[in-house]
Amino acid sequence: MTSYDHIRYECEGGIARLTLDRPDVLNSFNVAMHGEVRHALDRAAPDGARVLVLTGAGRGFCAGQDLNDRAVAPGASRVDLGESIERYYAPLVLALRALPMPVIAAVNGVAAGAGANIALACDLVIATRSANFIQSFCRIGLVPDSGGTWFLPKLVGPARALGLALLGDKLTASQAADWGLIWRCVDDAEFAGVVDRLAADLAVAPTRGLAAIKSAIHGAAFRPLEAQLDVERDLQRELGHSHDYGEGVSAFKDKRSPHFLGR
């Protein structure tokens, strides 16, 4: 069992839970935490996870980059900041998108800077009503990173994306849900139960099919309709030979609940 200093990780019943655990700095990232998160993400599928829940310890989800970290401390060169994106944040975003299972961002408080955009890189974002999302980069002379300039206009349109990025205002979880930036906003008292039920449902769902849905939808932005139709054809052809498709059809015919194996 691997122990970590900056995160908590467990996998049980097909549910992997990865908790950013630097609550004294609102779970902001340093280089060490990046390494631990990537290690945990690499473990999830081999550990038998069929869904991953990403959340934060304490009163926040993630405040982005720890500006006291030596890699990006004041005085670091532009090259250093670029290398931080290239070595840590870009691979993290791509790893979340590529996981062969649904990823739930359980946003339990403030999600700021890279923390907001790492949440948006997940497949389903559920936030407490007290949470907020802040594109805080403009306040220190930077641009939204960790996919922010890609996610924001696609999710909320260019006008709202520019407002969020240029002004750095707090966006409440309720407003984020209304705008379509996140999947759902729930009352704080109901949050843990809602996340647990969703994770449990996904952990017994046809995981291979869900991974294909995730891949198809995330990749659609890069393809014209004709090419996307080909992707759908190829995925249906592949999934039509899967155990879970056969089980799903059999269960439908037998009027019983299916028992999916995720393959």
What does the pLDDT look like over 67-89, one tens digit per residue? 888 655 555 544 478 888 999 99
Helix (H) or strand (E) holding 16: strand 15-20
Domain architecture of the chain: domains with CATH:
7-203 (3.90.226.10), 207-254 (1.10.12)
Q: pTM of the prediction?
A: 0.94
Average pLDDT of the segment spanning 232-252: 96
- Region of 212 on the Ramachandran plot (φ > 0 left; ψ -120 to 50 alpha; else beta): alpha
Q: What are phi and psi of 150, to 5 degrees?
A: -95, -45
Distance of alpha carbon 248 from alpha carbon 153, whole angstroms: 37
Could you read off the pLDDT of 7-23 as tens digits, one per residue?
A: 999 999 999 999 999 99
- Looking at the DSSP bridge assignments, the partners of residue 17 are 10, 53
Backbone angles phi, psi at 2, to 5 degrees: -80, 135
Q: Are 88 and 29 contacting, i.e. CB atoms less than 8 angstroms apart?
A: yes
By the 8 A CB rule, do 152 and 165 touch?
yes
Query: Are the C-beta atoms of 32 and 66 separated by less than 8 Å?
Result: no
Report angle CA 200, 131, 61 to the nearest 5 degrees. 65
Question: In this structure, are residues 11 and 48 in contact, taking their beta carbons and an 8 Å threshold?
Answer: yes
